[in-house]
A and B are shown apart, each in its own frame.
Chain A
Amino acid sequence: MKAARTFIPALLLAAIILMLSGCAELKQGVESLPGVKLSTSDTQAVIKTTKALRKSFSDITEEEEYYIGRSVSALILSKYNVYNNNAVTRYVNTVGNAVVVYSDRPEIYAGYHFLVLDSDEVNALAAPGGFIFITKGLLKRCVDEEMLAGILAHEVGHVSAKHGLRSIKKSRLIDAFKIMGQETAAKYGPDELSQLSDVFEDVLGDISERLIERGYDRKYEYEADRLSVKFMSKTCYDPNGLVDFLKTMVDDSSKDSVHGWFRTHPSAKDRLIRARKEISALKTVPQKVAVRTTRFKEAVKLLK
Chain B
Amino acid sequence: MRKISRIKFLIFAVLTAFAVVLAAETLIVKVQTTNLRKEPKFYSQTVAVLKAGEMVEKISTYDGWYKVRTSKGIEGWLHSSSVREKRFSLLAMDRSIQTTASVDEVALASKGFNKQVEKKYKADHTEISFVWVDKMIKFKVTPEQLRKFLKKGKLGEFGGAK
Contact = CB atoms under 8 A, between A and B. Distances in A.
Contacts of A289: 153-154, 159
Given A36-B6, A62-B31, A106 B111 contact: no
Contacts of A60: 112-113
B52 A63 contact: yes
Interface stretch (A72-80, A215-223, A252-260): A72-80
Interface residues of B, number: 70
Interface in A58-100: 60-64, 66-68, 70-71, 73-75, 77-78, 82, 89-90, 93-94, 97-98
Interface residues of A, number: 82
A107 B79 contact: yes
Contact of B161 (A8, A71, A75, A234): A234
A186 B116 CA distance: 11
Interface string A173-186: 00010001001001
Contacts of B52: 63, 109
B47 interface: no
B119 to A, nearest CB: 9
Contact of B116 (A19, A94, A193, A204): A193
A21 B87 contact: yes
A140 interface: no
A27 interface: yes
B104 A235 contact: no
Interface in A241-297: 286, 289, 291-292, 295
B62 interface: no
Most interface-central of A63, A94, A194, A289 (chain B CB within 10 A): A63
B11 interface: yes
A5 interface: yes
B74 interface: no
Contacts, number: 222
B114 interface: yes
Contacts of A235: 155-156, 159, 161
Contacts of B109: 61, 63
Contacts of B79: 106-107
A105 interface: yes
A64 B7 contact: no
Contacts of A57: none
Nearest to A71: B121
19 contacts: A16-B14, A19-B18, A22-B88, A24-B104, A25-B86, A29-B90, A67-B113, A67-B117, A68-B113, A73-B136, A74-B129, A90-B139, A98-B150, A115-B132, A115-B139, A196-B117, A200-B121, A235-B155, A236-B161
Interface of B: 3, 5-7, 9-11, 13-14, 17-18, 21, 30-32, 34, 42-43, 52, 79, 81-82, 86-88, 90-91, 101-102, 104-105, 107-118, 120-121, 124, 127-130, 132-133, 136-137, 139-141, 145-146, 149-150, 152-156, 158-161
> 8 closest pairs, A vs B, by CB?
A236-B159, A24-B104, A107-B82, A12-B10, A101-B42, A107-B81, A64-B113, A97-B141
Interface of A: 5, 8-9, 12-13, 15-16, 19-29, 32-36, 60-64, 66-68, 70-71, 73-75, 77-78, 82, 89-90, 93-94, 97-98, 101-102, 105-111, 113-115, 131, 145, 176, 180, 183, 186-188, 193-194, 196-197, 200-201, 203-204, 234-237, 286, 289, 291-292, 295
